[in-house]
Homo-oligomer: A and B are copies of this chain.
Amino acid sequence: MELWFSEYQSKNVRFSVRIKDMLYSKKTPYQFLCVFDTEDMGRIMTLDDVVQLTTKDEFVYHEMISHVPLFTHRSPERVLVIGGGDGGTVREILKHPVKEVHLVEIDEQVIEASKKFFPSLSSGFSDPRTSVFCEDGIEFVKKNKGYDVIIIDSTDPLGPAVGLFSREFYRDVFYALNDDGIMVAQTESPFFYGEFLKRVYSDISSVFKFTNVYTAVIPTYPGALWTFTMGSKSIDPISVNSMKLPEFDTKYYSPDIHKNCFVLPPFVQKMISK
């Protein structure tokens, strides 16, 4: 039997991958979660039929959402991840000499599935520096403060994640950060969601002193050219001296990529310019 998974990247564009082995599917209280193996993309996790990660290219997303803000801060000790229940972001953060990593994931089942099916991503959950909270991130940041870096590793701005893309939420994130704190959020592809990027950029700019967009290439996400938007309370991200960044065991991130990822193609720069 031929078994294919198809993601409707929009009503009119579909990405399909042949399933080698269906491993898991479960309706959680929040979403429909599946895990399967494929020939070309490795193992895949989907939520509500949207690809969250493939073992083929997850390294790009997880390296870029974590090392760019952490090296921009220089000496982060307490880091908070909102979402990111697969653990990939925590795995990368733990390569830094941080003291504490908090992960707030609303859907416990995502964490459990990752522990079972993605050992290479979820390895950091057993690190003594990691604490996991299965709660709503929006409420969590209102009560918990004192972070150096907050990473918003959310799903697309639909369903339970909508509130993670609001100005009110960014304000709460601001207050949950220390005085030199930095936040970063995944903010979709400018090829398809230019208006969204513009709005989020404007919202984060209204709260933080420095707001910068950087990009990375994630082939299995719609549009592939992916943006991350960073808000910084006092450190100018562009001032980071990439010559002083250590070489790290990474596949996509490097000190030179760090410096270059903030340089946007003119069509993206134009989207966020007033």
Contact = CB atoms under 8 A, between A and B. Distances in A.
> Among the interface residues A11, A15, A40, which one has the most CB atoms of the partner chain B within 10 A?
A40
Given A219-B222, A260-B260, 14 more contacts: A13-B17, A13-B40, A14-B16, A14-B17, A16-B16, A60-B265, A189-B219, A215-B217, A217-B225, A218-B224, A224-B225, A250-B266, A254-B263, A254-B266
26 contacts: A4-B14, A12-B17, A13-B16, A14-B14, A14-B17, A15-B15, A16-B16, A40-B192, A56-B191, A59-B267, A60-B265, A191-B219, A215-B217, A217-B217, A218-B224, A219-B222, A219-B223, A219-B225, A224-B224, A250-B266, A251-B265, A252-B266, A254-B263, A254-B266, A256-B263, A260-B260
Nearest to A248: B266
A257 B265 contact: yes
A18 interface: yes
Interface in A1-59: 4, 6, 10-18, 38-41, 56-57, 59
Interface residues of A, number: 42
Contacts of A60: 265
Nearest to A265: B252
A57 B265 CA distance: 13
A252 B17 CA distance: 29
Nearest to A221: B224
Q: This chain: how many copies in the complex?
A: 2
Contacts of A39: 11-12
A20 to B, nearest CB: 8
Nearest to A222: B219
The 10 closest A-B pairs by CB, nearest first: A224-B224, A12-B18, A260-B260, A251-B267, A14-B16, A217-B225, A12-B39, A252-B265, A219-B224, A256-B263
A40 B10 contact: yes
Interface string A228-253: 00000000000000000000001111
Contact of A252 (B224, B260, B267): B267
Contact of A13 (B41, B256, B260): B41
Given A40-B10, A41-B13, A257 B267 contact: no
